[in-house]
Amino acid sequence: MTKRIGVFPGTFDPITKGHIDIIRRGTHFLDHLIIGISENPGKSPLFSPQQRLEMTLQEIKETLPLFNPGCKVEASLFSGLLVRFAEFRGATLILRGLRAVSDFEYEFQLVGMNTYLSSKIETVFLMSSERHHFISSRFVKEVALLGGDVSEFVSPLVFKSLKEKIPHQ
């Protein structure tokens, strides 16, 4: 039987409880899930690629009991086209989370481009759970930078890392 390999791509700056929820749910229909951490040159991340990878690996380790034990979960940095990374890793599925209709517009265009670049890779969307639908890395950083409490949106490890980057957090 062919293994079902998927990639869950993102910047993960930082990884949130919403990301972990999508990862957990994705493990229930995949044999192998690769969390692809993008080194997107178009963004100015708060954390370095290596820091984002380390936080993600720690989150996987901490939340592993929540995942389907039959699914291997790993994290890897990548740069360049997502579909090329997915093909290189043997994935046939890209896993994406949707929070709102506004996400869908962008994701719809992205799927079109990815399908044009590689017709062998399908994209599957998971709706964010109700308790996570408003969480985004961007909002977590903005609220933290303005002195708000983001401890409910990220793990204690990520919260500690944010406090180190943003002294008044």
Compute the Cα dihedral for 123, 124, 126, 127 and give only its sign.
Answer: positive
pLDDT surpassing 70 at residue 152? yes
Confidence check: pLDDT of 167 > 80: no
51 belongs to a structural domain: yes
pLDDT at residue 135 in the model: 87
Residue 89 lies in a domain: yes
In a domain, 146, yes or no: no
Quick: pLDDT tens for 66-87. Answer: 888 999 999 999 999 999 999 9
Tell me whether residue 107 is in a domain: yes
Number of folded domains in the chain?
Answer: 1
HSE-up of residue 93 (Cα within 13 Å, Cβ side) = 18
Q: What's residue 107's pLDDT? A: 84
- 62 CB neighbour count, 10 Å cutoff: 13
Q: Reply yes or no on whether the pLDDT at 165 is more than 80.
A: yes
- pLDDT value at residue 168: 66
Could you tell me the CATH number of the domain that includes residue 93?
Answer: 3.40.50.620
| Residue 148 in domain | no
What pLDDT is stored for residue 129 in this prediction? 84
pTM: 0.92
Domain ranges, residue 102: 5-131
Query: Active-site residue numbers?
Result: 19, 43, 99, 137
What phi, psi does 151 have (nearest 5°)?
A: -65, -20
Asked if the structure places residue 21 within a domain, the reply is yes
User: How does pLDDT run across 122-136, given as a tens digit for each residue?
Assistant: 999 999 888 888 889
Q: Give the Cα separation of 161 and 156 in Å (integer).
A: 9
pLDDT digits (tens, 9 = 90+) for 32-70: 999 999 987 777 899 999 999 999 999 999 988 888 899
Chain segment 4-28, per-residue pLDDT in tens: 999 999 999 999 999 999 999 999 9
Residue 155 maps to a domain: no
